Amino acid sequence: MSAVSLENNRWVKASPRLAQRLNKLFVHRWFGHLGSMTQPLARAYASVLFCDSPWLGAWFAALTWFSPRTALPGLLGLLCAVGWGRVLGLSKPGEPHLVNGLLTGLVVGAVHILDVQALAWVVIASLLVTLSTYWLAALLWQTARLPVLSLPFTLVTWAILLTQTYRASILAYVASLANAHAFFTPWLDSFFISLGWLFLVPYPLAGALLFCGLIVASRYLALLAVAGYLAGFAGFQLFSLGDAQSSGFNFMLTAMALGGIFTVPGRAGFVFALVGSCLAGWMAVALNGILYVLVLPLLTAPFLLSVYLCLGALSVRHTWRAPYLNLEQPATPEIAYERARLAEARGAPSDSLPLALPFYGEWRVSQGFDGPHTHRDVWRHALDFHIVENERSHSNDGASLNDYFCFGAPVLAPTSGQVVRLRSDLPDMPPGEVDLINNWGNFLLLRMSNGLYVKLAHLKQNSVSVGLGEWVSVGQRLAACGSSGRSPEPHLHLHVQISETLGSSTLPFHFGHVLVRNKGQTTLDFHLCKRPLEGDHVSAASSNEPLGIALKLPAGRSFGYRIKTPEKPDEGYKKSDLRIELSLLGQFRLVGNHGASAAFEKTSAVIGFYDRQGKADPLLDLWLLALGLTPLSINAESWSDRPAMRLLPLGIGRRILAALLRPLGTGCDSRYCRHWDETLQVWRQEGVHCIHLAPGIEWRATTLALIQPELGVRRLRLDCFGQSWEAVLENTSWVSHNQTGH
Amino acid sequence: MNAPEKTLKAWAKPTLSSHRVGVMNKFGAVRQQFHQTEVDGVEIEPLLEQFGSPLFILSEKTLRNNVRRLRRAFATRWPKVRHGWSYKTNYLNAVCSILHQEGSWAEVVSEFEYQKARALGVPGSRIIFNGPWKPTAILEQALQEGAQIHIDHLDEIYALEQVAQKLNKKVAVGIRLNFDTGYTDSWSRFGFNLESGAAMDAVQRIASSQWLTLTGLHSHIGTFILDVRAYAAQARIMAEFMDKVESSTACRIEYLDIGGGFASRNALQGLYLPPDQLVPSFDQYAEAITGALLEATRTRSAAGKPLPTLIMETGRAVVDDAEFLITRVVGGKRLPDGRRAAILDAGVNLLFTGFWYNHEVKPLRQLDGTHEETVLYGPLCMNIDVLRSSVMLPPLNVGDALLISSVGAYNNTQWMQFIQYRPAVVMITQEGNVEVVRVAEQLAAINDFERLPDALRLPFPQGLPE
C-alpha cells in the first residue's frame, strides 16, 4: 500500500497495527489480487461502527447472515453502490456512499420479501444513495462543515418507504424480528439487540458478537457505545415509556461520533458525548411523534439530528477549548488521542499566536503574562524583557541609563508585517523616573498578515530605523531597547493587540524554537513553542549547520542499517532500511521496510516526527523513539517529548496489560539530552522514556543515537526490560525518483 | 597652672616637597590616595605571609564576569557569536579552563599553545589556530583534529595542501587579511594584504585547490585600539571582501574573525586621559562592529544568505583587570634630581607590561605623609627595570606592600626568569577560597632543564685558590 493511500485513509483507521497485520493475512495471502476489491467492501461494513479494519468488516459482514433475508440485499446494495460510484465517477476518500448503500440494502431487505422487485428496489435505492451522498456531503460540508454520516441512507429509505402503501404491516413485521429468545440478562439482551438492529440482526447473540468485534477494534469506542446507550436510554425514558430497543443504536452511535471520532477523546469529550446521547434519546421521542403519523421508522434520524446539532453549534465557537473538535481530520479515538498528546507535549495553547524573539542573545523575562505591575486587565498578555548578568540588570550603581545592559541593545521584528504606527522622539527616562503621559514611550506597531498588531514599546529615543508604512521581515533590526514612557528602568515591552488603537486589548502569544534557562538551572532547555514565565532566561535556538546536514533527510535518500534484536540473537545482525518519501500532498515520510511510516517536518531549528502509521517496525520505532523531536541547535542541551508507548517493543503480555489499563494508549514521558562526544566525534543524543501505566507500574527505557557530522545517524540503541535493540548504519543510497512519489 | 596635655601623634617620615604645578588636574587630586586591603573579600596581607612576596592574585569572579559581559555585548547584537580565548594573553591553565567553561574556544598561535590547549582537554574542533609559523607536525595534528586554521602566507597554503593530501581529507580553512582601516597602522606583516591584491590571489589559489576550501576570514588590526571606528571600518572591509570572495569563487564564508585588540582599563603611557574616560566598553565596541556589519550585510541578508558567525579573539580586555601583582618595598632612596625612589621585589621581569602601561599602584594600608612623586624600581640589575617612572605616593617604608592592578594580560606569559624566581600565582575563587594555580619557582625546577657535562662537575677542580 502506498503512503498516499495510507494517508488518505488514516481518518478511518481503527487499530493500525491490527489492521495492517490482518490486511497482510487477509488480503495478500488468502485472496491475492481479489483483496484489493474486497477490501473496500469489508471496510464499508466496519465503518457502520466507525471502524476501518477490513477484517473487522468481514466479521460484521458475516454476522449480518444471522438474518440472510436482509444480509443478501445489504450486500447487493453495497455492490450496487460500488458499481454506481464507478459508473458515475464518484469517489472520495472513505467512500461514504458504500456504507449508506449497505444500510439501505439491509433495510430494503427487511421490508420486502426477497424477490425480483426487492432487488430492483435495491438497485434503485443504491443509485439514489450514491447520488445523494455526494451531493449532501458537499452541501453539508460547505455550508455547515458537518460530515454527511448516514443522512443519505435515512432520507432515501424514507423516500422508498413512502412509496409503499402497506408499510404499517411491514414495520410491524420488522419489529417482530426482535422477538428472539432471551440470551443474557434482560438489560444486556436489550443492549445487544439494540446494537444488532444497526445491521438488522436484532438478536442478543449477534449483537454480542458485534460488540466483541468493536472491543477488539477500539476499547474506547466500545466504552462510549455502552455509556451512550445508557445516557440515551435515560433521555428516552424521561419522556416516553415506550420501547427504545429498535432505536437504541442511535444513542450508541451518537456517543461514538461525538466522544470518539469528531472530538479529541478526553473528559470533556466524554461528557459531551453523553449529553449528545441523552439528546438523541429525547429526539427519538420527539421524532417518533412526527414519523408515527407518516408511519415511518426512526432509522438513524435521532443520531443524525443530535450529532449535527452538537457539532454544528460547537464548530462556530470562537474560543479553542475542550471538547476540541476534530472535523477536518476525524480519526479513531486512539489516533486522535495520540495526536492530541503529541500536540500538547510539543505545542503551545492553540489560541496563541507564534512570534519570533525580538532580540539577539539571552534576555530575561522581567514581567510575564498577568504580571504584578502593569500586565493587568486587557493588557495582561504582555512580556517585558531585560538583560541580566548574575541576576543584576545593570553594572555600577544603576544610576545612569548606560549602566543597564539592555539599554541600546537591538530590537528585532518578531513577525513580518507593516509598520502602521510609530513614535521615536520621546526622551529616555532616567532610572527610577516614568513618563505617565506617554505611557508606551517610543513604540512601533506592526500589522501582521492575520490582521492583528504587534507592539514593541519603551524604545530608545531616535533609535527607530524603519519608517511608517515600511514592510519589515522577521528578525530585521528595527530599533534599540530604551527606557522611554512608563519605564522605571530600561526594558523591552512586547504584546499582540487586536486593533491599531494604542492600548487596545491584548491577545496571548508565544515564541517558537526557544532555549530557556530557569533560575538555578544549568542546562538550556529547548522548546518547540514556549510562552516564557517571569524570571525565565530565553534565547533563540539557532540552527547548527553540521547538525542540520547530518540530519538532512531529502526525499529519495535511503539508509541501510544492520539491526540486532533480542528476539533472534542467534541470527545476529539482519538488514533493514529506512527511506524518505514525499507524499502526494507534499508530506515527507520516513518509511520502513514493510510500509510502516511516520511523517516529519524539518525547519531550520528542529526536526520532528509524527503520525506514525503501519505495523511495528523495530528500526523505524527505534528511530522515532530516539530522534522523534530533535532540535538542530547545538546549544539545546535538553528537551522533553511524548512519543507513543506503542513505539516500544512490548511483549504480548505487556501489550494486553497496557490495552487494559490505558485503552486509549499513552505516551512516554521522555527526556532527552545531547552533547558532543569528542573521542567518537559524534553528538550523543540520549533519551530516557518513562511510562506511568498505573500507580506502581512504571516502565522505563533508554535510547541512544549517535549523530555523526556529514554522515547521519550512525548508531541507534534501545534498552528496555533488560534487553537491547541496536541498529548500525551501513550505507546510504539514493532511490530513483520515480519510486519516491514524484 | 597645668601643663598643656600631651597628645601623641603617629610618627610620619619627614618629607620635603616643593610647590609644583600639575599635581592637581581636572580629574581631581592625587589618584593614588586610596589603599586596598583585599581582593574579592579576601585579605591580601595574610596571603603575602603565606605565599611570600611578590605574589600574583587572580580573581575568578572578575574573569568570568568580564567574558560574560563581552559575550553578552556581542550576542545581544549579532545572531551568531563566538569568542576565542587568546592563549598568549594568559595561558595559565586555571585562566584558560575558566574561559573554556564559559564557552570560549582556544585561540592559539604556536605548537606549544596548541599542545597546551589539547593537554587541557580542549578538543581540536574548538581550537582556532593562528600565527605565522605552524610546523608541519602540528599542522597535521590540527587538521586531523578539525582545528580552525587561519593561513598566514602562501607557503602555508602549499604546506596545508600537502598535509591534507596526505590525510586524504578536504579541509576547511580561513585566511588572515591585513588592510588599512584608516584609523590604525596596518599590521602588514601578518596575513595577505587586501589593497595589493595578494589576498584575492590567495583566495583564488585556495578556491582552485582540490584539498582546501575557504570558509572564513580573519584579521587583527592591532592592539589596544581605543577608537571603535577602527573596528567598524574593519568589519565593513571584511564583509565587503566576503561578498567579493563569494561572488568570484564558489567559496562560502561562514565566519568573520575580527581578532582582538580591545583596550583594557589600563593607562597606556603617553595618554593624557584616564582609562575610565578613554577605554570604550564592550557594548561600544560591539555596537560599532555589529552596526557596520549589519550595514555591510544588508544586501546579503535581503538575498536570504546566512549571516556569518562573528568571532572575537579578545584577550587583554577580558583578563587584564582580573589579576593583581602584590609587591613589597625593599628599600628607598632619594634620587639626585630630588625625586623619591622605592625599590620593589617585583620589576619588569614579572611586569612586562610595565614598559607601556602606567599601572595603578595602591598601598595595602593607609600610609601617612604627603604624596610625592616617586619612581618605582624593580629588583633587576638593569637600568630599564622601572615599574612606574612617576607616581604620586606617600612615603614608603621597607616592608610596605603595594598592589599593582590590571596585570592579567601578557605578564604571566611574557614574564622572564632573569636573576629572580617567578613567584606564586593564587586565585580567589568565586566562593572566596584561595587556590594556588602556579607555585613559586625553585632552583631545582629551573636546574632540572640543565645538563652539566661530567668534566664540569667540580667548580674548582684544583681546590679553592688562596
Of B68, B78, B125, the CB nearest to A360: B78
Instruction: Find the helix or strand (DSSP H, E) in which A740 lies.
Output: none
Better pLDDT: A697 or A210: A210
pLDDT at B46 over 50: yes
pLDDT band at A663 (very low <50, low <70, confident <90, very high): confident
Q: Which chain B residues touch A678 with a CB distance below 8 Å? A: 123, 125
- The CA distances from residue A203 to A49, A73, A284, in Å, are 17, 19, 21
CA distance B303 to B420: 61
Question: Where do the domains of chain B lie, and which CATH numbers do they carry?
Answer: 31-58+321-441 (2.40.37.10), 130-314 (3.20.20.10)
Question: Count of CB atoms within 10 A of residue A498's CB?
Answer: 13
Per mean pLDDT, which range of A552-556, B318-322, B325-329 is the poorest? A552-556
Of B65, B76, B254, the CB nearest to A409: B76
Q: Is the C-alpha dihedral spanning A172, A177, A181, A182 positive or negative? A: negative
3-state SS class at B369: coil
Would you call B72 and A389 a contact, using CB atoms and an 8 Å cutoff? yes
Chain B segment 203-232 residues within 8 A of A by beta carbon are: none
Residue of chain A with shortest Cα separation from B69? A389
Contacts of B134 (CB under 8 A, 6+ apart): B110, B111, B142, B149, B156, B159
- Beta carbons of B127 and B110 less than 8 angstroms apart: no
- Beta carbons of B238 and B219 less than 8 angstroms apart: yes
- Phi and psi for A391 in degrees, rounded to 5? 65, 15
Would you call B75 and A361 a contact, using CB atoms and an 8 Å cutoff? yes
Confidence (pLDDT) at A18: 44
Question: Count of CB atoms within 10 A of residue A440's CB?
Answer: 22
What mean pLDDT is predicted for residues A421-444? 94
Residue with cell 563566538: B82
Locate all alpha helices (DSSP H) within A240-375, ordered by sequence. 248-256, 267-294, 301-315, 333-346
- Phi and psi for B379 in degrees, rounded to 5? -90, 0
pLDDT at A741 over 50: no
How large a percentage of chain B has pLDDT more than 90? 79
pLDDT at A163 over 70: yes
Q: Which chain A residues touch B60 with a CB distance below 8 Å? A: none
Name the packing angle between helices A204-217 and A54-64 (round to 10°).
180
pLDDT at A213 over 50: yes
For an interface test with A, give the residue of B76, B82, B125, B252 to mutate (most A CBs within 10 A).
B76
Confidence (pLDDT) at A21: 45
β-partners of residue B245 are none
The reply to whether omega before B275 is within 30° of 0 (cis) is no
Task: Show the cell assigned to B403.
Answer: 598592589
Nearest to A628 by CA among A342, A333, A337: A342
pLDDT band at A315 (very low <50, low <70, confident <90, very high): confident
CA distance A84 to A126: 8
Q: Is A545 exposed, middle or buried (0-12, 13-18, 19+ CB in 10 A)?
A: middle
Q: Which chain A residues touch B277 with a CB distance below 8 Å? A: none
Per-position b or e across B328-363, b if 16+ CB within 10 A of its CB: bbbebeeeeeeebbbbbbbbbbbbbbbeebbbbbbb
Would you call A363 and B76 a contact, using CB atoms and an 8 Å cutoff? yes
- Beta carbons of A512 and A529 less than 8 angstroms apart: yes
B123 Cβ under 8 Å from any chain A Cβ: yes
- Beta-strand pair B192-193/B171-178: parallel
β-partners of residue B262 are B225
Confidence (pLDDT) at A90: 80
- Beta carbons of A224 and A276 less than 8 angstroms apart: no
Q: Catalogue the E-assigned strands of A476-570.
A: 477-480, 492-497, 506-507, 509-517, 525-530, 537-540, 557-564
Tens digits of per-residue pLDDT, A240-297?
877 777 888 999 999 999 998 998 888 899 999 999 999 999 999 999 888 888 888 8
Per-position b or e across B255-293, b if 16+ CB within 10 A of its CB: bbbbbbbbbbbbbbeeeeebbeeebbbbbbbbbbbbbbb
Per-position b or e across A150-170, b if 16+ CB within 10 A of its CB: bbbbbbbbbebbeeeeebeeb
Tens digits of per-residue pLDDT, A493-516?
999 999 999 889 999 999 989 999
Please give, rounded to a whole number of angstroms, the shortest distance from the CA of B74 to a CA of chain A. Answer: 8
Contacts of B383 (CB under 8 A, 6+ apart): none
pLDDT at B371 over 90: no
Confidence (pLDDT) at B202: 96
Confidence (pLDDT) at A348: 63
Tens digits of per-residue pLDDT, A165-187?
777 777 777 777 666 667 778 88
Contacts of A133 (CB under 8 A, 6+ apart): A96, A97, A100, A148, A152
B145 Cβ under 8 Å from any chain A Cβ: no
Confidence (pLDDT) at A693: 86
Tens digits of per-residue pLDDT, A342-390?
888 887 667 789 999 999 999 999 999 998 888 988 899 999 999 998 8
CA distance A279 to A334: 25
pLDDT at A62 over 90: yes
Which residue type sits at A310? C
Nearest to A623 by CA among A643, A651, A604, A602: A643
pLDDT band at B117 (very low <50, low <70, confident <90, very high): very high
What mean pLDDT is predicted for residues B421-429? 97
Would you call B283 and A545 a contact, using CB atoms and an 8 Å cutoff? no
Tens digits of per-residue pLDDT, A70-93?
899 999 999 999 999 888 888 766
Of A360, A390, A542, the CB nearest to B76: A360
pLDDT at A310 over 80: yes
The Cβ-side half-sphere exposure at B86, using a 13 Å CA radius, reads 25
3-state SS class at A630: strand
Please give, rounded to a whole number of angstroms, the shortest distance from the CA of A546 to a CA of chain B. Answer: 12
pLDDT band at B14 (very low <50, low <70, confident <90, very high): confident
